[in-house]
Structure 1
Amino acid sequence: MMIGDSILNGGSPTDQQQIITEIFKSKLLTARHPAEVLNASAGSWGIGNHLGYLREFGTFNSDVVILEIGTNDLAQPTSTSAPVGNDPNFPTHPPLLAIQEAWTRYTWPRLSKIFQIGSVPSDFPLTPSSVEPDRQFQQNMQTLKTTVQLVRIQKIPIFVLFVPELSNLVPSNNLPKYKLEFIQQLKFLQVPLIDAQSEWSTLPSKKVETLFRDGIHPNEAGNQALANLLFQELSGISYKR
């Protein structure tokens, strides 16, 4: 079971078969590891939303839980339902046609921005920002600890997949604020870290750029690379409980 935000969800621009969990499942099945890979994710979810989902719906008796955490998540407050129905990125109903969604969520906002017509939402779901990021980070680390305890009570192994932003790697590798403290917390909790930033830090900048569709979200190639990391880390381990 994987839990995350729009990176894991893929959003409308990414075909269902090209999201991280689907590629990971395909790799497991090809390697003769029968598996179902669950995906619990939504745009702008943060560390607090991970815990909220697990408390509400549980782990579905999964053999492994993997938290996808990105740079923005480290000091991001828990998302609420406030934008739902008020922002084109958070509709309450599915669109009648794909072309309708393409226009309302992507084409019109970009044209409006270019020609400065009215006030429009951003191209991608905005994550809530904290006025006190240091305090929010500490709160998130406590929430992460609670999440780990909740999963381990059920005797389920838990991992973290860290996905950097493009700016963390290009033009050069640089650690996001709070990441060192985040890694220390994971070590204290004895939670294995699958670190995409570390894995991609030795790649040429041009190569790294081919893994992202914008400054935050990996594209199909990036999702494939992330699924490869998960497969390398997890495929050889048995989690029969």
Structure 2
Amino acid sequence: MTAIINRIKKHNIIFSISHTKATYEETMIAIEAGATVVTHLFNAMRPLHHRNPGPFGILGQAGTKSRPYFGIIADGIHLHPTIVKIAYSAYLEGVFLVTDALSLAGLSRGTYEWTNGSRIVKKGSELTLEENGRIAGGFASLLDCVTNFLNWSGNSVPEAVNAVTSVPAKMLGMDKIKGSLEAGADADLLVLSERRNEDGLRTLRVDKVWKFGKLVLDPA
């Protein structure tokens, strides 16, 4: 495993620990060898056990230089809100949000052909495999995930947006040009407005979008 990771890293490819049954010890070996990211933390991985935390043990590695970034699917289906909050509280600098959205995201409810002869059922807020009912992906938007994260974590809007801007930019080694408003960075700008309902839940709306300094969305 170490040899494979080293070989991949030599080509400037980011090595990510993905869906795996790796033990805690195996996970740490991969991280020490150069794995810097964990894909879809908690999903399709060895369950957390009190005698061997598996890949989730990275959350307890406070203060270590090799602590990896990790992606969280905050769509309300893949993970319980409390799990998201635990992960974020353990390592707020490392969490970035992903949707796990498939190409079916914009389609109406129904059953669709998928790869390798599989069929996916889109119903309500879930995408599941027809043959066994397992989660097959998601169709939440990234703004939905940020809004969920905002409410579950109790963070401010800047803190929540950080998980889809500066953190993934740093993970990709692109923090000088993406994910910030620093001089010299790409002029990719997003204007959001926040609303609260009577229960105190917050929602975000996209007001304006600039790409490379050009206004590309202005609903008003």
Same fold, TM-score > 0.5, yes or no? no
TM-score after normalising by structure 2: 0.32
Q: Greater helix share, 1 or 2?
A: 1
Higher relative contact order (CA 8 A, sep 6+): 1
